Amino acid sequence: MTEKDKKDNHLLIITHYGKDNQILKLTEEAGEFLTALARSQQYTESYETKKKRLENLKEETADLRNMLDQFLIMQGDKFTKEVQIIQDEKIRRTLKIIEKEQNEHPF
């Protein structure tokens, strides 16, 4: 699916269910993602359990990404661009911290 198709489909979903409902759905999916992530980190010797947990984590990650995409569409281009700028700044800041840590504690 192209990015344009995804955006068009998200807009259809937002229009059908409504913005308020989709924001509530975002909070629900965020919670389900956190639960799946926590469960995926729990120790188990069972291969089947590990496999099921990983598949669940993939599903919940996809759900959360879809809802975040819808949230950004609802907030508009200006908001989305500002979020991207902040995201880039946070990545650069973390890279600077890593560089500083590596210089202070070379391995």
pTM: 0.88
Instruction: Give tens-digit pLDDT for 4-27.
Output: 999 999 999 999 999 999 999 999
In this prediction, residue 95 carries a pLDDT of 98
In this prediction, residue 107 carries a pLDDT of 65
Please, which residues have CB within 8 angstroms of residue 80's CB and are 6 or more apart in sequence? 72, 73
Distance CA 95, CA 101 (A): 10
Q: What is the four-CA torsion angle of 14, 16, 18, 23, rounded to 10 degrees?
A: -50
Instruction: Give tens-digit pLDDT for 27-67.
Output: 999 999 999 999 999 988 899 999 999 999 999 999 999 99
Instruction: Give tens-digit pLDDT for 66-99.
Output: 999 999 999 999 999 999 999 999 999 999 999 9
Q: Which helix or strand (DSSP H or E) is residue 13 part of?
A: helix 3-17
Alpha-helical segments (H) within 18-76: 19-41, 47-75
